[in-house]
Structure 1
Amino acid sequence: MSKPATHYPNAPKSQPTARHTLAVIVDNEPGVLARIAGLFSGRGYNIESLTVSETEHEKHISRITVVTSGTANVIDQIKAHLDRLVPVHRVVDLTAQGEAIERELALVKVVGKGEARVEAMRLASAFGARTLDASLTSFVFELTGSTEEIERFIKMMTVVGLTEVSRTGIAAMSRGPEAM
């Protein structure tokens, strides 16, 4: 007779984790971002990407885009906790709404001479990156795209002399005519 995998025969099966992009509309006031980040860290949730910007200057409203991962229950808990914070107007799970448009911006510095320099320019052109700065020994490229595209570009540039990367994090919006 085989042993059960657990001492509890009716133990719940583990749920799969998934990556979710949440858009949070908040009052633009001091301490709001700290409260939201504290909510995540205090409960042991990880933030994979975080972007914040004021979207309605006259009303002092900001949009926070948070990318996190968790089980369906964890994501529901995160949304519920965010909804309860006073400066939060609404929380939208862009992942649950369907396919969202997600983009990220990266600045990538590459140092090299000779063939490495030529290869860096060729790769940048193939990826559609803009050259923001060029000297005899270095380039700074700007690339906007999906996280996967950015990752591929960085991996390729590592081979030809990548020295520095700065990334914005994900900005996202749902498809279609409806506003958040």
Structure 2
Amino acid sequence: MIRKHTISVLVNNQPGVLQRVSGLFGRRGFNIESITVGESEEQGLSRMVIVTTGDDKMLEQISKQLYKLIDVIKVIDLSSNPMVARELALIKVFAEPGARPEILGVVETFRAAVVDIGPSSLIVQVVGDSEKIDAMVELLKPYGIKELSRTGATAMIRGVVK
């Protein structure tokens, strides 16, 4: 069954690791829907959170191939466990002064924040799961989205401490 997978990959923080991991996906014909990379809790290691779509066999193949890369320490399928996933988006919206109260109502409803105000635009910051971001983008489209930047998902397994 084809579904969305969120994978956590712990890697050595070395130049070229991101390129080797993304290259592996490309060579195998697997699409990366989003990828976030940053320092982990352990010095010298980074955590990549990759969202991809495929069946369980494809996920197993990806995991095996990732472990063949020298800088890969650990691969975890987060989506096979209860997890928390969040994404951040910055959305620049056309906002003449007359339209601002309506836009601010949308912002408040989504517990988002206005992080910049210009003469004819607002930049809105929203954090949440991908569906929340998608819903906010849809509601702001009628006002005219001038620019949109999304981080991609970052995620952790819920409640387990080892």
User: Is the pair's TM-score, using the shorter chain for normalization, greater than 0.5?
Assistant: yes
What residue number does 2:113 align with?
A: 130
What residue number does 2:33 align with?
A: 48
* Bigger strand share: 2
Report runs of 4+ in structure 1 exceeding 6 Å deviation.
none
1:92 aligns with 2:97: no
Specify the code of the residue in structure 2 equivalent to 1:104: E
What residue number does 2:2 align with?
A: 17
What residue number does 2:141 align with?
A: 158
Q: Check conservation: 2:89, 2:150, Cα contact below 8 A.
A: yes
Q: 1:56 to 1:100 in 2, by over 3 A?
A: closer
Structure 1: distance between partners of 2:16 and 2:119: 44
Specify the code of the residue in structure 1 equivalent to 2:131: E
Please, which moves more after superposition, 115-124 or 41-50?
Answer: 115-124
Partner secondary structure for residue 81 of structure 1: helix
Q: Give CA-to-partner distance per residue, 1:75-98, whole Å, 9 cap, x none.
A: 1100111111110100000012x2
Q: Check conservation: 1:117, 1:160, Cα contact below 8 A.
A: no
- Map residues 4-153 of structure 1 onto 2, 5 A cutoff: 16-56=1-41, 59-96=43-80, 98-153=81-136
Structure 1: distance between partners of 2:97 and 2:14: 50
Partner secondary structure for residue 48 of structure 1: strand
Q: Which runs of 5+ in 2 are unaligned?
A: none
RMSD across aligned positions (CA): 1.2
User: Percent identity over the alignment?
Assistant: 39
Q: Check conservation: 2:97, 2:120, Cα contact below 8 A.
A: no
Structure 2: distance between partners of 1:114 and 1:139: 10
Q: Check conservation: 1:25, 1:64, Cα contact below 8 A.
A: yes
Partner secondary structure for residue 148 of structure 1: helix
TM-score (norm 1): 0.86
Specify the code of the residue in structure 2 equivalent to 1:38: G
Partner secondary structure for residue 176 of structure 1: coil
Partner secondary structure for residue 68 of structure 1: strand
Structure 2: distance between partners of 1:116 and 1:54: 40
Greater relative contact order: 1 or 2 (C-alpha under 8 angstroms, separation 6 or more)?
2
- Give the number of aligned pairs: 162
Q: Check conservation: 1:83, 1:90, Cα contact below 8 A.
A: yes
Shift of 1:178: 2.1
Structure 2: distance between partners of 1:79 and 1:45: 12
